[in-house]
Amino acid sequence: MQNKNSFLGKGWAFPPEFSHNDNPTRMSNYEEDIRQSLVILLSTRTGERIHRPDYGTELYRYQFEQLDLTMETMIKSAIEKAVLLYEPRVSLDRIEINKASIQDGILIIELYYTIRMNNVQQELTYPIYFDSNR
């Protein structure tokens, strides 16, 4: 019997894991596959992928900028553009930027999105570390 969420797809888990068992590659399914896809998208710098040079975001460009309202708007816009172009399985409901840990070198980005195929709402918390020791 086919899983009711199978239309959401599956892919390699991130980070990739391999074993010598019957299933040598760990896969991620459904909502988890979408969540991991968003993490990969946010973690990839534009130009980093040779065959898809426009894939990713430019979040790293804002690392040394003063985090004011203009900068928050630019960060949100970069994320919105990337999700719109490269993750068609979701519609982005809102993005919140949490600056509570900014003094510790961490900016928390919270994405609230809806999976288009089943209208399920999800949340992703994505930290950006400005401290090079992390």
112 inside domain: yes
pLDDT digit string (tens) for 69-121?
999 999 999 999 999 999 999 999 999 999 888 888 888 999 999 999 899 99
4 inside domain: no
Amino acid (one-letter) located at 110? E
Handedness of CA 18, 128, 63, 86 (dihedral sign): positive
**Is residue 64 helix, strand or coil?**
coil
Contact 114, 121 (CB under 8 A): yes
Model-level pTM?
Answer: 0.78
Q: Domain with 111 in it: what CATH number?
A: 3.10.450.40
CA neighbor of 12 nearest in space, from 22, 3, 23, 1: 23
Q: How distant is the alpha carbon of residue 1 from its chain centre?
A: 31
Percent of the chain with pLDDT over 70: 75
pLDDT digit string (tens) for 27-36?
556 788 899 9
52 inside domain: yes
Residue 62 has pLDDT above 80, yes or no: yes
Domain that holds residue 96: 9-129
| Half-sphere exposure of residue 15: CA atoms within 13 angstroms, side-chain side | 1
63 inside domain: yes
In whole numbers, what is the pLDDT of the chain averaged over residues?
A: 83
CA neighbor of 111 nearest in space, from 121, 99, 101: 121
Number of domains the chain contains:
1
What are the residue ranges of helices labelled H in 1-134? Answer: 30-43, 69-86
Amino acid (one-letter) located at 36? Q
Residue 1 has pLDDT above 50, yes or no: no
134 inside domain: no
Identify the pLDDT of residue 76: 96
